[in-house]
């Protein structure tokens, strides 16, 4: 289990990080908290959504394991099943709206990663071509965003307008027009998360690294401080959530 070394003092664009609350969570994976303060997790391969008063769940065990969940739009939640190359869209009560079978589209699309984008589209990483694409599941139109990416894809992070690829050698940021906004060397990151207002966080085997979206800024390591084991993490405009396998720690982010 990785350890997070993080500083409860002003750190770059975060300003100050202050512990807001600590909540027990019994889950296999912590997905995150949406803009309506609902918590999402995966338990026994089922997606669970909980509020202060209600609990919803979604599962389709015929599709294999849940590979990824994207809650950036809480009214249209994306659940990706890599074993069958299928994306399922859910409404805000986790009822299925529709599904996209990438095996059945024209020019079969073998997906390694998929995330929400704008205008009925999703960011997809084409495993065969090693390219980032935008796929419109309404029109069936595919737009190639990147040239073939060197190295192995480790992780992706995105919002509606930008997608960040973490490979074993680089961190690359693209916009929806296919422009590369920035490229950084990967010194050993194992995961990345993003927030439009806050930038990127990258986790390595030793600590958490914070990156502000300003193009001139490099990744900057946090300094040593309180130690919390990191199993899952989420970054939003107001909070940094850290799940250690037992509790979710919510840190409020304030500007300097």
pLDDT in tens, 164-194: 999 999 999 999 999 998 888 888 889 999 8
Mean pLDDT, the chain, as a whole number? 86
Q: Is the pLDDT of residue 10 over 60?
A: no
Pairwise CA distance, residues 154 & 165, whole Å: 8
Please give the sequence-ordered ranges of beta strands (E in DSSP) within 28-116, or none if there are none: 29-33, 39-43, 46-50, 55-58, 68-70, 77-81, 86-90, 96-101, 111-116
**Cα→Cα distances 209→105, 189, 191, 199, Å:** 39, 9, 10, 11
Supply the pLDDT for residue 208: 66
Per domain, the residue ranges of the chain are: 2-254
Q: Is the pLDDT of residue 201 over 90?
A: no
Lowest mean pLDDT among 47-51, 90-94, 250-254: 250-254
Please state whether beta strands 220-221 and 208-211 pair in parallel, antiparallel, or not at all (unpaired): antiparallel
In the chain, pLDDT over 70 holds for what percent of residues?
85
Predicted confidence (pLDDT) per residue in 215-247, tens digit: 445 555 554 345 778 889 998 888 999 999 999
Supply the pLDDT for residue 122: 97
| pTM reported for the whole predicted model | 0.89
**Tokens representing 75?**
């009214």
At the topology level of CATH, where does 2-254 sit? Neuraminidase (2.120.10)
3-state helix, strand, coil in the chain (%, to 5): 0, 55, 45
Which residue did the predictor score with more confidence, 224 or 54?
A: 54
């Amino acid at each position: 289990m990785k350890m997070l070394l993080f500083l409860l003092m002003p750190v770059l664009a975060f300003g100050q990080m202050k512990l807001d609350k600590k909540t027990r969570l019994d889950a296999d994976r912590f997905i995150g908290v949406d803009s309506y303060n609902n918590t999402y997790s995966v338990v026994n391969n089922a997606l669970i959504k909980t509020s202060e008063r209600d609990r919803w769940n979604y599962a389709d065990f015929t599709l294999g394991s849940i590979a990824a969940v994207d809650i950036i739009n809480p009214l249209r939640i994306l659940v990706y099943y890599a074993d069958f190359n299928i994306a399922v869209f859910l409404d805000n009560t986790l009822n299925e709206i529709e599904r996209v079978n990438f095996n059945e589209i024209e020019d079969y699309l073998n997906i390694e990663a998929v995330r929400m984008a704008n205008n009925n589209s999703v960011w997809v990483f084409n495993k065969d071509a090693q390219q980032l694409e935008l796929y419109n599941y309404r029109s069936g139109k595919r737009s190639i965003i990147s040239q073939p990416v060197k190295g192995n894809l480790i992780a992706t992070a995105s919002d509606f307008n930008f997608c960040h690829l973490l490979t074993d050698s680089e961190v690359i940021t693209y916009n929806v027009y296919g422009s590369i906004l920035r490229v950084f060397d990967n010194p050993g990151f194992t995961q990345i998360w993003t927030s439009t207002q806050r930038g990127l966080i990258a986790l390595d085997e030793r600590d958490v690294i914070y990156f502000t979206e300003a193009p001139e800024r490099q990744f900057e390591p946090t300094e040593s401080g309180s130690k919390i084991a990191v199993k899952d993490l989420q970054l939003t405009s107001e909070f940094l959530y850290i799940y250690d396998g037992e509790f979710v720690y919510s840190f409020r982010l304030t500007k300097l």
